[in-house]
Each structure stands twice: as structure tokens, then as C-alpha cells.
Amino acid sequence: MAKSAIEAVSFPHSTFPDTRVQVDPATSPPYNWICSLDITDAYGDKWAGTGFAINLPNAKYEVIVTAGHCTYIKGDYASSIIVQFPGEEFARTIYKNGFYASPEYIKHGDVENDDYGLILIPKSRDVIGGFGWSADIEDTELDKCSVTSCGYPTDKPAGTLWVTGGRVTSYTEKRIFYENNSIRKQSGSPVYTWHKGYWTVVGVHSNGGSPNSASRFTIQVISCFLKQMQCKKTLKSVHFPDVYIRCDASDVKESTGPGGGTVNCQYKPPQCWEQFYVIPLEMPPSLVKQPIRKVVIESAEWKNAFLRLEDKQMTEFRSCGGGKVNLQFGAMSYEQFILKEEGPDDVYSIVSIVFPHCRIRVDGKRVTSWLASGSGTVNCQYFGDVNVPAKEFEKIQIKQL
């Protein structure tokens, strides 16, 4: 019999009263997005755990989230993991190059902060679908919510799915604590709550005890997922078709009030300083057709450097724009945007959440050749009516590399 992956790191199961209920059948959402894991480590030993699919549009893979200690065991990545979803006739066997564990977990084995991982399944016609999730739920909402967890416990018949709920008792920036009952082999289970009209994952269960706890979904966690899958994008001017937004964050080493670095333009072809991770802050489940487009935008070249917009008290439309677009170390309020659709082919305007009348503006009329320091202007434009379509300088095509 396979052991629970949590036994490899010697952590307990919970001691709360058993309120678990079997899910049968488990062939409809969200339960059919939760999979059992049969793990073979690098030394041939057998382990078991739980994982779950999330909705991550435009990813090159079906994305299965689990605990880091389910993919990285006893100092090495697992050699193979068999992934079995409810109702699927055939299991999927994924090998070592399809696994990920957070660098912090690999370095420190720290389940208290960074115990999360991925299993990447090549996409096929049989789309799995996945949970909605959020890295943006306010602490005040966690104060009054209960969470649900669901997995494949070791004390129940093999392959059976069990669900339970409990209240959130406390939380930190990286972790959520709750009273749900859990048993070994439930490591990697989704921890989710009802949010904005659907079940929304807020963490991945990794540690039993009193209370149980999960690694919290954060901007840093989602950023790590996108980086692992090389989901880099460019921000290309529509009006100036050979012009891309460029950033230089070489001096952005810590968070400061006014931000820093340089955001301007570069002439084609886009290179490393013109590449970004457009990180959703939340996403509905795959069954919801209209995704939420609240994002932060991180430089792919400069770790933890995010586009920042400040309106500088703009109150009217100006032909040359105004305000300030630069960079900040870490993502807070001035670094959050809404992507407003402005046409087909992934054309958007990038609207500040803090300053909703302001959108990022790209002036590339003098950008006609590649320069090491870039050129042109990236600043803000004011729109008195937040619902009107963008003008030419504010239309940006977000292209997947």
C-alpha cells in the first residue's frame, strides 16, 4: 500500500471531529477536477496524495496544483506520478520533467510557507477544465468565511473522494489555518470557498494538525506557475505596430513610495526587456465564459518588478498624456489593472484600478529603430467616461510568445 507523501516529511493529520462526507458520484464540477496521485519517488518508493485542476487560460498545459511535498520527495523530484480523475477510464502517467515544486520548498523543505507544486499535463482534445481561484481575497473576507477541502484520504476505500468544511481560524500573508478534518493522502487537496458566485480556491492543503493549514494562493504563487510554463507576453502598440513597451528595472531593488526604473518603448523585435508576465489576480472556473481581467504585470527579465501607474492628479484628457508609468518592487494597489477589451486579437486598454479614469498610453511616433536605452513615451491618458473606448495610443495588443 502506498504511503501518504506527507509521511516523507513527518507531519501529522488533523485531530478535529470527523465530519467528512463521501462524494458519490464525483463526476461533475467541482469534484471531477480533483484527482488522486500515485507517486513513485526517485528511489522507487510509493506514495500517494491529491491534486486539483485550475483554470489558467492560454497555458500550454492542463495545470494540476498539489503540495510541493507530493512532487519533490526526499530531496529529489518524483520519477513518475499517476494522475486519476473521477470518471475517467484511463489514468495519466506524468514523468519527472512535468513536475514543479516552489524553489523555497526545495531549498528549505518549509511546509509552513511555500509547500506548493504543479503537475503539467500536455493539452489534448479531452479538456479537464478546472477550479476558479483567487490570489486577491481580502483578509476581511477570510475573517468571516468557511472553507471546504476535498481529497482522497488513506482511511477510506481507495479512489473514493471525501469532502468536509470548517471555519478559518487565522491566516498569514502566505498561509490559511482552518478546522477541517483531514487524514494522510489529502496533501495537495484544494481549499476553497464560495466567492463571487462560484467555488474559488484560496489555497492548497499541505499540513494537518490543530489547526490544519494550506499554502495560500498569492501573486507570487501564480507568478511562479506562469514562469514555470514560460507564459511570457509582449505589450505591443496597435497604433505603432513595430513598437513594444519596454522596462528597465535594474535599480528597482526594494519597494519605494514613488516607484522607480524606466518604462518606455522599444522597436522590434521584442527582446528580454520587452517581455512580461501578465498575472491574473483571480479567475473563474473553466465553465464560466467571461474571465475576470484583473491583473498585475511583472517584468520577465527583472524579478518582482511590476508596472506601476500614478495619475499625478490628472483631471482631463491631454493630447500628450500625463501622469507616470514606472515600476515598483512588489505588487500593491498602484500596480493593479483591469484589461478592458478594445477589439479582436487580444487588443486591450490597460486601466488603473486605483485611478479608474487613467489608462496606460504608448507614444511611439519617434521610435523607428532599436536603441539600447529605448525611446518614446509610456505614460497615462485620462478618460472622463470610464466606459468609452480607448483612443489609438491606448490600444495595446497582448501577445503570447
Position 57 in a domain: yes
* Residue 282 counted as domain residue: yes
Note whether residue 227 is domain-resident. no
Q: Please report, for the chain, how many H helices and E strands are present, in that order.
A: 4, 31
Q: 205 and 260, same structural domain?
A: no
One domain for residues 249 and 166: no
pLDDT at 5 over 70: no
> Does 243 share its domain with 377?
yes
Closest CA relative to residue 307, chosen from 273, 372, 263: 263
Residue 300 lies in a domain: yes
pLDDT band at 8 (very low <50, low <70, confident <90, very high): very low
Q: What angle do CA 31, 32, 35 make, to 5 degrees?
A: 95
Given the C-alpha cell 478546522, which residue does it identify?
Answer: 179
Between 76 and 123, the more confident residue is 76
CATH number at residue 347: 2.80.10.50
Residue 47 confidence (pLDDT) above 80? yes
Q: Span 318-328, mean pLDDT?
A: 98
Residue where a domain stops, chosen among 199, 222, 245:
222
The position carrying cell 509547500 is 115
DSSP state of 141: H
pLDDT at 16: 57
12 falls in which pLDDT band (50, 70, 90)? very low
Question: Which residues partner with 131 through β-bridges?
Answer: 54
Same domain, 144 and 238: no
Q: Which residues of 332-367 are buried (b: 16+ CB within 10 A; e: fewer)?
A: eebbbbbbbebeeebbbbbbbbebebbbbbbbbeeb
Same domain flag for 150 and 252: no
Distance (Å, rounded) from C-alpha 271 to C-alpha 266?
A: 9
Question: Is 237 in a helix, a strand, or coil?
Answer: strand
The amino acid that residue 247 corresponds to is: C
| For range 290-295, the mean pLDDT | 83
For residue 228, tell me if it sits in a domain: no
What mean pLDDT value characterizes the chain?
Answer: 91
Q: Are residues 378 and 349 in the same domain?
A: yes
pLDDT for residue 169 is more than 60: yes
pLDDT of 362 higher than 70: yes
Record the cell numbers describing residue 254, joined without a space.
526594494
Of 88-92, 200-204, 316-320, 394-398, minimum mean pLDDT range:
88-92
* Nearest to 221, CA basis, from 173, 269, 262: 173
Domain identity same for 213 and 237: no
Place of cell 506520478: 81
> Are the beta carbons of 140 and 108 closer than 8 angstroms?
no
Q: Which of 50-54, 205-209, 211-215, 240-244 has the lowest mean pLDDT?
A: 205-209
The CATH number given to whatever domain includes residue 71 is: 2.40.10.120
pLDDT at 39 over 90: yes
Beta strands in 123-232 (DSSP E): 132-134, 146-151, 161-171, 175-178, 190-195, 198-207, 212-216
Q: Are residues 243 and 194 in the same domain?
A: no
Q: Nine-digit cell at 358?
A: 487613467
Same domain, yes or no: 146 and 291: no
Q: Band of the pLDDT at 319, cuts 50, 70, 90?
A: very high
pLDDT digits (tens, 9 = 90+) for 135-151: 999 898 998 889 999 99
Q: Which of 174, 193, 222 is the last residue of a domain?
A: 222
Question: Is 121 in a helix, a strand, or coil?
Answer: strand
Is residue 146 within 8 A of residue 92, CB to CB? The reply is: no
What is d(CA 71, CA 51) in angstroms, rounded to the nearest whole number?
10
pLDDT category at 110 given cuts 50, 70, 90 is confident
pLDDT of residue 41: 96
In angstroms, the CA 393 to CA 223 distance is 28
Give ∠ CA 171-327-360 in degrees, rounded to 5: 105
C-alpha cell at 207: 499540513
Amino acid at position 51, single letter: G
Residue 87: pLDDT over 50: yes
Q: Are residues 197 and 279 in the same domain?
A: no
Is pLDDT above 80 for 222?
Answer: yes
Distances (CA, A) of 317 to 312, 380, 385, 396: 13, 10, 11, 18
pLDDT digits (tens, 9 = 90+) for 223-252: 999 999 889 999 999 999 999 999 999 999
- How far apart are the C-alpha atoms of 81 and 57, rounded to whole Å? 24
Burial of 327 per CB tally in 10 Å (0-12, 13-18, 19+) = buried
d(CA 280, CA 301): 19
172-197 residue pLDDT tens = 999 999 887 666 668 899 999 999 89
pLDDT reading at 15 higher than 70: no
Q: Which helix (H) or strand (E) holds 107?
A: helix 103-108
Same domain as 346, residue 302: yes
Q: Is residue 186 part of a domain?
A: yes
Give me the mean pLDDT over the 313-341 stretch: 97
What is the distance, to the nearest Å, from the Cα of residue 369 to the centroid of all Cα atoms in its chain?
35
- Which residues span the domain enclosing 350? 233-400
Q: Which helix H or strand E contains 71, and what residues bound it?
A: helix 68-71
Residue 261 predicted with pLDDT over 50: yes
Quote the number of domains for the chain.
2
Among the candidates 180, 197, 222, a domain finishes at: 222
**198 and 346, same structural domain?**
no
d(CA 187, CA 316): 53
pLDDT at 122: 85
